[in-house]
Amino acid sequence: MQIKPIIDVHSHLGQFTHVPMSADGARLAALNEEAGVAHGVTFSIEACYGALDIGNAYTLAEVAKQPTLSAMVVAHARHLDSSARWVAEAKSNPDIVGVKLHPALGQWDVLSVASFRLMDEVIVPSGLPVLSHTGNDSQFVTIDRYLRLAERYPTVRFIAAHLGVGITGYSDASIDAWRDRPLPNVWFDMGTLRAFHTGAVEAVVAAVGADRVLFGTDAPLYPPAPFVRLLETLKLPDAVKRAIAYENVLNVIPQLRQRISI
- Identify the pLDDT of residue 35: 97
Question: Which residue in 78, 76, 62 sits closest to 28, CA to CA?
Answer: 62
Residue 180 in this model has a pLDDT that exceeds 90 = yes
Residue 1 in this model has a pLDDT that exceeds 70 = no
Q: How confident is the model at residue 165 (pLDDT cuts 50, 70, 90)?
A: very high
Q: How confident is the model at residue 2 (pLDDT cuts 50, 70, 90)?
A: confident
* Residues written for the chain: 262
Strand order in the sheet with 130-132: 7-13, 39-44, 69-74, 96-101, 130-132, 158-160, 186-189, 213-214
The mean pLDDT value for 185-205 works out to 97
Contact 165, 201 (CB under 8 A): no
- Average predicted confidence (pLDDT) for the chain: 97
Residue 215 in this model has a pLDDT that exceeds 90 = yes
Contact 256, 38 (CB under 8 A): no
Q: How confident is the model at residue 4 (pLDDT cuts 50, 70, 90)?
A: confident
The mean pLDDT value for 190-202 works out to 96
- Identify the pLDDT of residue 259: 87
* pLDDT digits 0-9 by tens, 6-64: 999 999 999 999 999 999 999 999 999 999 999 999 999 999 999 999 999 999 999 99
Residue 253 in this model has a pLDDT that exceeds 70 = yes
For 114-145, letters b (16+ CB in 10 Å) and e give ebeebbeebbeebebbbbbbbbbebebbbbbb
The percentage of residues in the chain with a pLDDT greater than 90, rounded to a whole number, is 97
Distance separating alpha carbons of residues 262 and 259, to the nearest angstrom:
10
- Identify the pLDDT of residue 12: 98
Neighbours of 248 (CB within 10 A): 24
Neighbours of 193 (CB within 10 A): 15
Q: Which class would CATH give 7-258?
A: alpha beta
Neighbours of 91 (CB within 10 A): 9
- Identify the pLDDT of residue 163: 98
**Domain spans of the chain, in order of start:** 7-258
Question: Which residue in 162, 169, 153, 229 sits closest to 189, CA to CA?
Answer: 162
Distance separating alpha carbons of residues 184 and 104, to the nearest angstrom:
25
